[in-house]
Each structure stands twice: as C-alpha cells, then as structure tokens.
Amino acid sequence: MGLFDKIKNEFIDIIEWQDSTNDTIVWRFPRYQNEIKMGAKLTVRESQVAVFMNEGKIADVYQPGMHTLQTQNMPILSTLKGWKYGFNSPFKADVYFVSTKQFIDQKWGTKNPITLDDQRFGFIELRAFGSYAFRVTDAGKFIKEIAGTDGNFSTEEVAGQLRGMIVTKFTDAAAEGNIPVEKFAANLEELSTLGKDKLNNDFIEYGLSITKFLVENVSMPEELKKEIFEYSRLNKIDMQKLAQMKAAKSIEIAAENQNTMGMGMGMGMGMGMGNMMTNMMGNQLMNNQQNQQNQQVNTNMPPPIIQYFVAVNGQQTGPFDQAALANMAASGALKKESMVWKNGMAAWAQAGTVAELAALFNNTPPPIPS
C-alpha cells in the first residue's frame, strides 16, 4: 500500500453496505487496521441492521437511517470504552451489517423417514419435503447464537442447521396435530400451519422468524397405503347389510352341501358363520330395526318388511325376511318346532304357532318313510 493510500485510509468516515447478493445474511465492514473517525456517517438501508461489537461483545445496534457517530448515540460502546464527555478521538470497533429481508424459497426435506406412532396402524414411517422463508428479527441474538464472528455469513451456511431443526420440529408438530395418517395428503395446509407455529416457538431463541412454511408432499410406504385404502373401504360398508348377506350365503351353502356332508353339519357351519356376523352387530341391529319402525309415520308408505330371528343350536341367527324363511322351510332348515322371535313378541315361540309363519309349512311335504 502506497503512502497516499495509507493516508487516505487512515480514518474511516463513511460506513455502509450496498448488498448486491441475494443470500448474504451477515457482512462485516472491512475496517482492517483503520480506525473509525468520531463523527463518521453510518448509513443503514432498509432491510438492514448495523451491529457494533467491541472485543467480541455486542454493543450498539442501529436501525435503518443515517447516523452520525457520536458518544451520544453510542451509549453502550462509550461505556465499554470508558469514554468521557467530549471524546472526539478515532476508535476501533467491528461493524456487522445484518440483512433483515425475507430469504425465500429455502428447501427442506427428510433425509431419513420420520417415525410416528399411530393408534390404528402402529409405528409408521413417512417422508416429507417442502419450502420455507425466514428473516432475522434480532440481529444481535442471531450473531451471538448462529453467525459468530463470520465476516460473510450466507444462507447456505445456515441452511443445514435450519433444515435439521425444521425436520425435528415438523415431526413433533405432525405427532401432536391429531391428524389421521390417512388424511395427511389432504391436510397439507393444516400441517404447514402447525409446522410454522412449532418452529417459531424455538427459532425466536436464535433471533429468527419463519415467515412461511409449506409442506408440499407427504409420502409413505406402499404397504401402508394399501392398509389405509382397505381401512377406508371398510368404513364405507353397511355392516348390517353385510351381516344379512353373509348369513343368507351361509344358508345357501349349507343347503347345497346337505347331500355330502349332512344337513346337521352344513347348517351348523352356515348358521355359525351367520351367528358370528350377527353377534358382531348385536344390539346395534336391533336398535336400528326399532328406529326404522319408529320412523314409519307416513301411512301412505308401504308396510315394513317383517323379519324374524331363528334359534339354531341354541344360538340366535337372522333376522330373516319372509322369502328367506320360505327357503329355509323348503330346505328343512326351518321347522314347525323351530323357535322364532320378532320385534314386538313377548317371548320366543315355535314357528308353527305363529300365524304369519304357519302357512310356510302347509306346502312342505312330509318326511319320506323309511
């Protein structure tokens, strides 16, 4: 450096940062061995904050505007330096400019699957990715906690730390959000809001704020997808109709197998299957039937379908409508001595004694003599 340059740069009287990048968060003013002249002009542009540091300690912080550096507007630095009234000598201090603009389109994603404990499907593994935006809200705290003495700190340097924190906090938010796993893909906006709130609770400790957080996709193993689809279809099935259909099919199978396996065994198996399904429904079927009868208030509506329960081997089966009972009587599965009951009857009774059922046995041929 020539003599002229040395004299020219002996004192600094203009301090400013003209940021020409899109990713610089912290930039240290290149003071080197030069001293700052008392009365120097400090220019802090919009979306910037200037932080003065003395021997590694944060001193005064300046918001956007033009500042003339004097002891009056450098109270903390004056105290640290021990300056007295009327001090006008040059001084040394590190000046850091911190960008407070939004840094947008930052990417995040789960390198490894995150594990959640779902009440129905147990432990499941999910992957997620998206984008976020952030800004510095407390320049002094950000330098102290994140940037340190780095003279040119960019978004790339902080991205790794932020992504790690985001994945951790997103996992907590997903677990605490009470969103069913099968609805994750349909509730990305709610997941995004939960993630943003969860992140900001912790990012404030680093002088940062998440201004936008987006979950763009949540993926899961194919095996889990199949289970979720099956579970969803099962929820759409009318269990009452399913029980009646399975009971009717079991009776047909028993009738077809009576020549090979014996009527008793076939009926036992068929009725056992029907009984298993009807027992699953239990009181729900009876309550539904009662509700349906109570709703028959319109006299113009067709009469309700009469259905009977049939006792087989001491177990309740059914209910069966008139057509099913006629088939049962024709195949011998329903006899006059069979115990039956329908809603409104005080107790079980033999089928042959019930007026509505007696006609079913009039066309039934007597047993073939030996």
Burial class (CB in 10 A: 0-12, 13-18, 19+), 168: middle
Same domain for 74 and 86, yes or no, is yes
pLDDT (0 to 100) of residue 117 = 76
Same domain for 213 and 112, yes or no, is yes
Q: Are strands 339-341 and 103-109 parallel, antiparallel or unpaired?
A: unpaired
Same domain for 244 and 213, yes or no, is no
Domain stop point among 194, 226, 258: 226
In a domain, 232, yes or no: no
Give pTM, 2 decimals: 0.54
The SS3 call for residue 239 is helix
Same domain for 339 and 248, yes or no, is yes
What range defines the domain where residue 127 resides?
Answer: 103-226
Q: E strand or H helix at 291, and its extent?
A: helix 283-294
- Rg from Cα positions in the chain: 41
In a domain, 149, yes or no: yes
The SS3 call for residue 308 is strand
Same domain for 313 and 276, yes or no, is yes
Same domain for 134 and 197, yes or no, is yes
Same domain for 84 and 179, yes or no, is no
pLDDT (0 to 100) of residue 52 = 93
Q: E strand or H helix at 44, and its extent?
A: strand 35-44
pLDDT (0 to 100) of residue 243 = 60
Same domain for 141 and 191, yes or no, is yes
Domain stop point among 99, 115, 150: 99
pLDDT (0 to 100) of residue 73 = 83
In a domain, 366, yes or no: no
Q: E strand or H helix at 224, and its extent?
A: helix 222-236
pLDDT (0 to 100) of residue 43 = 95
In a domain, 369, yes or no: no
Integer distance in angstroms from the first to the last C-alpha of the chain? 130
Give the separation between CA 370 and CA 356, rounded to whole angstroms. 32
Same domain for 222 and 242, yes or no, is no
In a domain, 142, yes or no: yes
Same domain for 316 and 243, yes or no, is yes
CATH number at residue 165: 3.30.479.30
One-letter amino acid of 284:
Q
pLDDT (0 to 100) of residue 61 = 93
Give the separation between CA 269 and CA 250, rounded to whole angstroms. 8
Domain stop point among 55, 74, 99: 99
In a domain, 370, yes or no: no
Sheet strand arrangement including 24-28? 57-62, 48-54, 94-99, 24-28, 152-154
Q: How many helices (H) and strands (E) does the chain have?
A: 12, 16
Same domain for 345 and 324, yes or no, is yes
In a domain, 349, yes or no: yes
pLDDT (0 to 100) of residue 327 = 79
Task: Check residue 79 and report its DSSP letter.
Answer: H
- For residues 152, 156, 162, 164, the Cα torsion angle rounded to the nearest 10 degrees is -130
Could you give the number of structural domains in the chain? 3
Same domain for 142 and 154, yes or no, is yes
pLDDT per 10-residue tile (average), the chain, 370 residues: 49 86 90 79 94 88 92 84 71 90 88 76 81 92 84 84 81 70 72 83 87 85 72 58 64 67 48 51 53 51 70 81 79 80 82 78 66
